[in-house]
Amino acid sequence: MSSTLQLTQDLIRRDSITPRDEGCQELLIARLEDIGFTVERMPFGEVSNFWAHRGHGAPLLCFAGHTDVVPTGPLEQWHNPPFEAQIRNEHLFGRGAADMKASLAAFVTACERFVAEQPDHCGRIAFLITSDEEGVATDGSVRVVDALEARGEQIDYCIVGEPTSAQQFGDTIKNGRRGSLSGTLLVHGIQGHIAYPQLAKNPIHLVAPALSKLAAEVWDHGNDYFPPTSWQVSNIHAGTGATNVIPGSCEIKFNFRFSTEHTAETLKDRVHEILDQHGLAYELHWQLSGNPFITEPGALTDAISEAINEVCAVRTELSTTGGTSDGRFIKRIARELVEFGPINASIHKLNECVAVADLEPLSRIYQQTLHKLLR
């Protein structure tokens, strides 16, 4: 059994449903301390975090990730218990197998081999690990980054172990992510009997033209790195449940996934402009989950792309698709940041799994990247 497989199994067997860590970080910490890392535990609220570093000077290469996992869903629909880490059909099954305990294990084993080969390596290696990525993400990486930024810490290269591979292991690196901006819109009307519409104001009817305008809006055309900004309604709720009552209010939830062509403020301004054009009485509450970020091709993208090709003979592509990640926080102090990890087809699903054959190559890719950047 490979060391990466064994460590991945050990991590999966800890049921670290967000924001719990259940000892995963102490397992990682023990391995890192054995090879000379200095570890700073940084808990905030119920969330476990740590920052670890080894070496001196520049550049600083940071491995970043999370030990927490999403809930399992119906246990009876799993082929095996989700925290037993069973191997079947050449795959390792368990919640968090791909997202992202395999990457965490590969980070550690890559560093163990690298340090054994180059105990006096150039620069520094760091780990930024949280247990609050799959949840509300308020006491995790963002708090650690705040603390590091306050004392002037800067990261030259950061690799986040998110599962990025699409069809074939190694085929995709994320070199950026779109921003995510959500809104909760409450449109006020006047409740009344449906037979006397002249005595009421139907907020659904009032807001419908504005929603049509928002849906038809061309926000931008994207750019070399991002697709066009998208605005989508996720929920509409109004009414009492009765068929003879005009509702007094209507709530609409929506979300922007936006490119670097916009800021959150320019999007907010345009939405308010459209709503005001339609004379609506409304309240609108905003939540910014993350701004877009991009790492242009450079030393880090070149190094990890070359490592993938050398280990797997796969030519990888750069991509900014998908949801948000903690990269949105870390990029504030990271000059170059990418995400790379296993195939993502099963993440957050029942019977999440990772191919056993991909585990050691994943570790070797991280190790090769260390060699290329800290030589």
**Residues labelled as active-site residues:** 68, 133
- Kindly give the pairing relationship between strand 230-238 and strand 38-41: unpaired
Relative to beta strand 230-238, strand 249-258 is antiparallel
Other Cβ atoms closer than 10 A to 244: 8
Listed residue (273, 284, 263) closest to 183, CA to CA: 284
Long-range contacts of 267-274 (CB under 8 A, 24+ apart): 267/181, 267/219, 267/229, 268/181, 270/217, 270/219, 271/183, 271/214, 274/210, 274/213, 274/214, 274/217
**Short-list 112, 12, 1, CA closest to 63:** 112
Distance between CA atoms of residues 48 and 21, nearest Å: 7
Using CA atoms, how far residue 234 sits from 148, 251, 254, 279, in Å, is 36, 11, 5, 23
CA–CA distance, 61 with 126 (Å, rounded to integer): 6
324 neighbors 303 (Cβ within 8 angstroms): no
Distance of CA 128 to the CA centre of its chain: 14
Give, as one character, the DSSP assignment of residue 35.
T
